[in-house]
């Protein structure tokens, strides 16, 4: 079971500063997760961690700053860098976003050993090409190994489209080899639905360990996926990194031909997340741990609280209203029976926003407090009493 987050700010700070309790031969992997806003990055992070510490909502830009999640398994530590969705200055201005949201994803890439590029396959407008921001990010750091993760595959009714999407997003090349779509004798809806959700088509040598469960899973998945690596297509498969690409080249690109693997999963339901997690653990290299094994996230307890309440505001308030709410915490203390007491004011710019946030008979604010309190209990593993007040700034 993953450790809970400390409820006391000083205790969490001490844990973060504590010398890691690493084994004699520690292994580590720093993973940057990038993608367009609302692709499901935070949902995937929470599933990998096994506890909800990152905010999730259907609205874009729920994650406002980079935060780290820590998975410690036996001798291996995975450090997940959850980053804001890659955006541009125009969109940042429209959503009143902090300047850090434009720089944080790039900062995460600098420290990463592996990058996961997450794509929402349920969005038919964007699923067949990587955004220019993602392509720019990958081309700036071509030496960092990258993996394509197709998310929300459970929402896609026509599973055979996954083959087309995978081909477009990789430009038909994975791990230096061309992908070929094998013709299937029965292309009806029933056979396409049986397409495996974890075809990792191009396994690097270290993951093809004879007899390893993951290696067997991969070969089975590859057989059933309908994707075939036929011929070597350039230097990527021979260990040569992709060249740095200029802005002119990026304009003509839809996909990235240097991905090492493809994973297909449904992060919200946790489908095939364990397959990805096992792969990440196998990619770890010898190196010192960064955190004590009791650390689950680099965030402070107050940051987790603010983010989770903000998630509910985004979920239940219309349009741009939640982006204008300011949160002020007045009380954060332990009660007589060990429960955590939190009192927070939500400051809104207009009276009309206040009425919206409170709702008829106080229903909206009560629901937000109840759901946020439940999430905080799951993060801190203790009783939480959360009281929210709404005021006009």
Name the burial class of residue 194, with classes exposed (0-12), middle (13-18) and buried (19+) by CB atoms within 10 angstroms of its CB. Answer: exposed
Share of the chain above pLDDT 70, in %: 74
The pLDDT tens digits for 39-89 are 888 899 999 999 999 888 777 655 545 678 999 999 999 999 866 645 444
Written as six digits, the tokens of 370 are 């109840």
Whether 294 and 309 map to the same domain: the answer is no
pLDDT at residue number 91: 45
Residues 6+ apart with CB under 8 A from 241: 142, 143, 235, 258
**What CATH number is attached to the domain comprising 280?**
3.40.50.300
Mean pLDDT of 333-352: 93
Q: Which long-range contacts (CB under 8 A, 24 or more apart) does 268-271 make?
A: 268/40, 268/43, 268/152, 268/154, 269/154, 270/47, 271/153, 271/154, 271/197
Whether 252 and 309 map to the same domain: the answer is no
**Same domain for 291 and 306?**
no
Q: Which burial class, exposed, middle or buried, applies to 247 when counting CB atoms under 10 A from its CB (0-12, 13-18, 19+)?
A: exposed
Task: Identify the pLDDT of residue 38.
Answer: 80
- Which pLDDT score is estimated for 106? 63
Same domain, 279 and 306: no
Residue 388 lies inside a defined structural domain of this protein: yes
Tell me: do 367 and 277 sit in the same domain. Answer: no
CA gap 97, 92 in Å, rounded: 5
Residues 130 and 61 in one domain: yes
Task: Find where tokens 């653990």 sit.
Answer: 281
Say what the pLDDT of residue 216 is.
38
Q: How many structural domains is the chain composed of?
A: 2
pLDDT over 70 at 233, yes or no: no
CATH of the domain at 357: 3.30.300.20
Instruction: Assess contact for 102 and 93: CB atoms under 8 A.
Output: no
Query: What is the crossing angle of helices 9-17 and 301-316, to 10°?
Result: 120
For 337, the domain range is 302-392
Residue 294 lies in a domain: yes
128-170 pLDDT per residue, tens? 999 888 898 899 999 999 999 999 999 988 888 999 999 999 9
Whether residue 202 lies inside any domain: the answer is: no
Same domain, 368 and 259: no
The DSSP element (H or E) to which 207 belongs, if any, is none
Please report whether residue 240 resides in a domain.
no
């Amino acid at each position: 079971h993953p450790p809970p987050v400390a409820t006391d700010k000083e205790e969490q700070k001490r844990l973060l500063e504590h010398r890691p309790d690493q084994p004699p031969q520690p292994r580590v992997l720093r993973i940057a997760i990038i993608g367009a806003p609302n692709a499901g990055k935070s949902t995937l992070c929470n599933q990998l961690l096994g506890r909800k510490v990152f905010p999730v909502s259907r609205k874009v830009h729920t994650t406002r700053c980079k935060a780290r999640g820590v998975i410690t398994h036996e001798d291996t530590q995975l450090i997940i860098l959850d980053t804001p969705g890659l955006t541009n200055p125009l969109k940042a201005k429209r959503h009143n976003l902090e300047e850090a949201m434009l720089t944080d994803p790039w900062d995460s890439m600098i420290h990463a050993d592996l990058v996961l590029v997450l794509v929402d396959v349920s969005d038919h407008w964007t699923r067949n090409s990587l955004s220019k921001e993602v392509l720019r990010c990958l081309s700036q750091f071509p030496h960092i190994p990258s993996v394509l993760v197709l998310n929300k595959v459970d929402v896609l009714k026509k599973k055979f489209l996954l083959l087309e999407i995978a081909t477009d997003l990789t430009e038909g090349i994975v791990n230096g080899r061309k992908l070929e779509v094998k013709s299937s004798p029965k292309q009806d809806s029933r056979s396409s639905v049986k397409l495996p959700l974890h075809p990792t088509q191009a396994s690097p040598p270290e993951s093809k360990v004879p007899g390893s469960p993951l290696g067997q899973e991969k070969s089975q998945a590859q057989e059933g996926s309908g994707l075939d690596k036929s011929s070597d297509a350039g230097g990527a498969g021979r260990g040569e990194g992709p060249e740095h690409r200029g802005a002119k080249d990026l304009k003509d690109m839809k996909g990235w031909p240097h991905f090492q693997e493809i994973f297909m999963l449904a992060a919200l339901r946790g489908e095939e997340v364990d397959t990805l997690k096992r792969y990440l653990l196998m990619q770890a290299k010898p190196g010192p741990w960064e955190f004590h094994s009791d650390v689950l996230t680099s965030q402070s307890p107050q940051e987790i609280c603010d983010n989770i309440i903000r998630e509910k505001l985004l979920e239940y308030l219309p349009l741009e209203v939640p982006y204008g709410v300011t949160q002020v915490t007045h009380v954060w203390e332990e009660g007589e029976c060990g429960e955590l007491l939190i009192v927070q004011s939500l400051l809104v710019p207009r009276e009309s926003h206040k009425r919206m946030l409170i709702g008829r008979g106080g229903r909206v604010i009560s629901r937000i407090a109840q759901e946020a309190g439940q999430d905080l209990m799951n993060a801190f593993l203790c009783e939480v009493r959360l009281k929210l007040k709404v005021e006009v700034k």
